Amino acid sequence: MDTDPHRPETRVPFRSGFVGIIGAPNVGKSTLLNQLLGEKIAIITPKPQTTRRQIRGILTGMDFQIVFVDTPGIHNPKKPLNKILVHWATQAARDVDAIVYVVDVTCRHTRQEFAISDLLREVKRPVILILNKIDRVAKETLLPLIDELKDRYPFEAIIPVSARYGRGIDRVLDEILKILPEGPQLYNARTITDQSKGELAAEFIREKVFLFAHQEVPYSTAVEVEKIEEDSGQQLIEIVAIIYVERPSQKGIIIGRGGHFIKKIGTLARQELEALWGQKIYLDIRVKVLKEWSKDRKALRRLGLLI
């Protein structure tokens, strides 16, 4: 054993930085983030454009801290709200140290993929390409896809994964650590997201609306937490939240006959939040009409969708 006191100790450098998760709508970006963190902090639904803003998730190890930035899906926007969502995503690509680019191998978004390739060439960040949902395709279909995509950008790595089932997640982390720059710890080691409890509550409620409402209704809803108070003595968190809709008819749909629909939303959101925080929650959800909020810049700013 070498015990030479004059030999300098080998020091493992601490690495830290911001890693953007980008891709077309509904390719599994939020699922990937939750798997990397081992905690659900980003909502997930089968509907596209569920994510409406940048969500930061923080993973800390002995010698690293990665701040993941989950983003809305990049698409061809027509409505004001959708243009804001794409702005959040493209801005994240410019602000981060590295990028994880997610492609759904079961449902290609060719137009969006070319637009994202152009964005990657513009921002010139190191990029890891993730081929997601490999559990749903035959292995022999992956090689032609890799051959097609590898020439679009000099990717640091191309990794097939199943974010839903956690396959390939360890390799994603290994490849990120290879390109992460040296830097200081940016957040407390116990912090897993910079979202406040109010923001998390609003997102979990909105997720349930997206899961159970149909057609245009989910896209016409927004959630704002009006009040959140913690009673440390009773280990209770009281939350009052407002679901905004754009038309009176949508209000009736969200409430449901005899209040059945809104009770279902509230029960499921409360159960998930209690599991996440380890505290009892009293959740009061109300529904209000905020006419054409998705086209109103003042309303969008109030709801945290526009800065």
Which residue in the block uniquely carries the two structure tokens 């061809």?
A: 76
**The pLDDT value given to residue 2:** 47
Q: How far apart are the first and last CA of the chain?
A: 59
Evaluate whether the domain defined by 15-179 bears CATH number 3.40.50.300.
yes
pLDDT at 304: 86
Q: What is the pLDDT of residues 83-95, one digit of tens each?
A: 888 988 999 999 9
Q: What are phi and psi of 269, to 5 degrees?
A: -65, -45
173 contact partners, CB below 8 Å, separation of at least 6: 36, 59
| Cα 118 to Cα 134: distance, rounded to the nearest angstrom | 25
- Residue 51 gets the label, from left (phi > 0), alpha (psi -120 to 50) or beta, of beta
Sequence spans of domains, the chain: 15-179, 197-302
| pLDDT digits 0-9 by tens, 140-193 | 889 899 998 988 899 999 999 999 999 999 999 999 999 999 999 999 999 999
Q: How far is CA 262 from the centre of its chain?
A: 24
- CA separation (Å) from 270 to 87, 229, 254, 277? 31, 15, 17, 10
Which residue in the block uniquely carries the two structure tokens 């990049």? 74
Nearest CA to 102 out of 19, 203, 191 is that of: 19
Token pair 């997201």: residue? 193
What residues are paired with 282 via a beta bridge?
238
User: Which amino acid, 166?
Assistant: G
Instruction: State yes or no: pLDDT of 67 exceeds 80.
Output: yes
Fold that domain 197-302 belongs to in CATH? GMP Synthetase; Chain A, domain 3 (3.30.300)
Judged against a pLDDT cut of 70, whether residue 7 lies above it is answered with: no
Query: What DSSP letter does each residue of 192-217 carry, written as one string?
Result: -BS--HHHHHHHHHHHHHHHH--TTT
Instruction: Name the 3-class secondary structure at 289.
Output: strand
Are 161 and 169 within 8 A, CB to CB?
A: yes
pLDDT digits (tens, 9 = 90+) for 233-273: 778 999 999 999 999 999 999 999 999 999 999 999 999 99
pLDDT band of 4, cuts 50, 70, 90: low
Q: How many residues does the chain have?
A: 307
